[in-house]
Structure 1
Amino acid sequence: MPKQKTHKGTVKRVRVTGTGKLMHEQANNQHKFAHKSGQRKRRLDTDQLVSPADAKNIKKLLGI
């Protein structure tokens, strides 16, 4: 049986912490910063935890 391949699109979007949690970047943090407040930009800067409902499928894509 062939090896399972890692889904490269998922690898680029999600990282795994040392304890096995899945983190992803907050949306709306790529461009058009002129009209966003500093407080909003700082809030968007932090990584977010992946929803537990999605975590199982994402781990499968990552081969974990």
Structure 2
Amino acid sequence: MYKLKTSKSVSKRFKISSSGKFLRHYSCKSHLLQKKSSNRKRKLRRTILIDYCDNGSFNYTLPYK
């Protein structure tokens, strides 16, 4: 059986929780920050789970988690 390749772009952008779920960061935190409130920017720091329907494609791109 041949080895599957890990998608390096996906491995840098997403993390795996201890229970095996995929975590992602919020978007809209890279530029145009002066018009966003500090409360909004603080909430954008967190990580959240990806949607359940996207788990199949992540299992393919990150085979050795």
2-structure distance, mates of 1:43, 1:9: 24
**When you count helix as a share of all residues, which structure comes out higher?**
1
2-structure distance, mates of 1:58, 1:20: 11
Which 4+ residue blocks in structure 1 deviate beyond 3 angstroms?
Answer: none
Residue of structure 2 equivalent to 1:9: 9
Instruction: Give the superposed CA RMSD.
Output: 1.1
Give SS of 1:45's match. Answer: coil
Deviation at 1:45, TM superposition (A): 0.8
Aligned length: 64
Q: Kindly provide the amino acid, as one letter, of the partner of residue 34 in structure 2.
A: A
Taking structure 2 as the reference length, what is the TM-score of the superposition? 0.89
Gaps of 5+ in 1: none
2-structure distance, mates of 1:58, 1:29: 23
Identity within the alignment, %: 30
CA offsets, 1:3-61, max 9 Å, x none? 11101111011100111110011010112211000111011110111100001211211
2-structure distance, mates of 1:11, 1:3: 17
